[in-house]
Structure 1
């Protein structure tokens, strides 16, 4: 039993090391090409449909970069941008953006109550779980699990992604099945409300 526990601890430790191996300084050197859409430090994208990359979580960012480079997550605007980057380059880029501070947006006051109720308590009637269960009450995410920090993210981007999960258009990655199931139970109005709430969460 002790060997089993030791093996699990070692495995978790090695996984954590593998996903925490990026060098932010090196990542900054490759980030210039990203700033054109995502803004300096990934904190202020030029359009609401582009995500903020700052502080999302290194493991999550790395996994998404790999999925985009491999073609598993299709983003037309990023076609070819990662082709010449090595796996270490992607780790470094993820580490750099994770080190940046998230700039929190402003939630729509008319949607705060509904959005807060969904984020913190879900919708028992339709089987929607609370977002806070995976992404934390403050929206800081869960780095070991690869669940991104959501607090402060652009509402427009969140709406687009939740609908993509719901429609099955975003299905890449080990956690996609979770989000596809959650989003399948959300109405358009709920997506708008919870996305707005998350954009002002900190």
Structure 2
């Protein structure tokens, strides 16, 4: 993405960042610092997620182009919750990483990753593409599974501050998250709608829709 493109992305999302920052800092909104975000990404996040948010393997999600508000929320969910409650997302590595970040750091690094261009992904299993497409675009009415597209959009771009971008995400990572949503508390407990939806999917259906998502663009 060229400099103008990055500027437009940051400009478009800046208002959302200031709202999040204001919620975290009662004294008022803090300033967005993309350069600081890039430094954090390079020094802390790059080993797993890539310096530009395009991870090299499915064990780690692609963060490039993800909605910044969503990234901030996920980082907060990796932290211990008020009242001594455990994190809403259970990942010892990410819990340690998030604990070291201030609210300002989270806003900055999320802004940086959001401004990066996401590399496309690819579906790899032709035999399950039809099933994956059916689940993503139309859902499974007989099992009460809504269409993924109804929240994440027809091309997987999601809706800023509400639903994450899925387009091109590694299939292995999507499978892992759907399984975590199935397990709920102790694994991933930060979306009741996704918990309810994932519980209705079989292992085959999860793998099929995850593979289909990987090829969305």
TM-score grouping bracket, smaller chain normalisation: 0.7 to 0.9
Task: Identify the residue that residue 189 of structure 2 maps to in structure 1.
Answer: 171
Unaligned runs of 5+ in 2: 1-14, 22-30, 81-86
Aligned to 1:198: 213
Match of 2:133 in 1: 116
Partner of 2:9: none
- TM-score by length of structure 1 reads 0.85
Q: Relative to 1, partners in 2 of residues 1:149 and 1:35: Cα closer, same or farther, differing over 3 Å?
A: same
Q: Would the aligned equivalents of 1:42 and 1:97 in 2 still touch at CA under 8 Å?
A: yes
Give the root-mean-square deviation of aligned CA atoms.
1.8
User: What residue is the counterpart of 2:24 in the other structure?
Assistant: none
Gaps of 5+ in 1: 1-13
SS of the aligned residue for 1:82 comes to helix
Cα distance, 1:74 vs. partner? 2.0
Aligned residues: 184
Superposed, 1:36-115 pairs within 5 Å as 36-45=47-56, 47-70=57-80, 71-108=87-124, 109-115=126-132
1:42 is paired with a residue of what secondary structure?
coil
Structure 1 segment 120-159 matched on structure 2, within 5 A: 120-145=137-162, 147-159=163-175
- TM-score of the aligned structures, taking structure 2 as reference length: 0.79
Distance in structure 2 (CA, Å) of the matches to 1:52 and 1:40: 11
Match of 1:35 among 46, 62, 71: 46
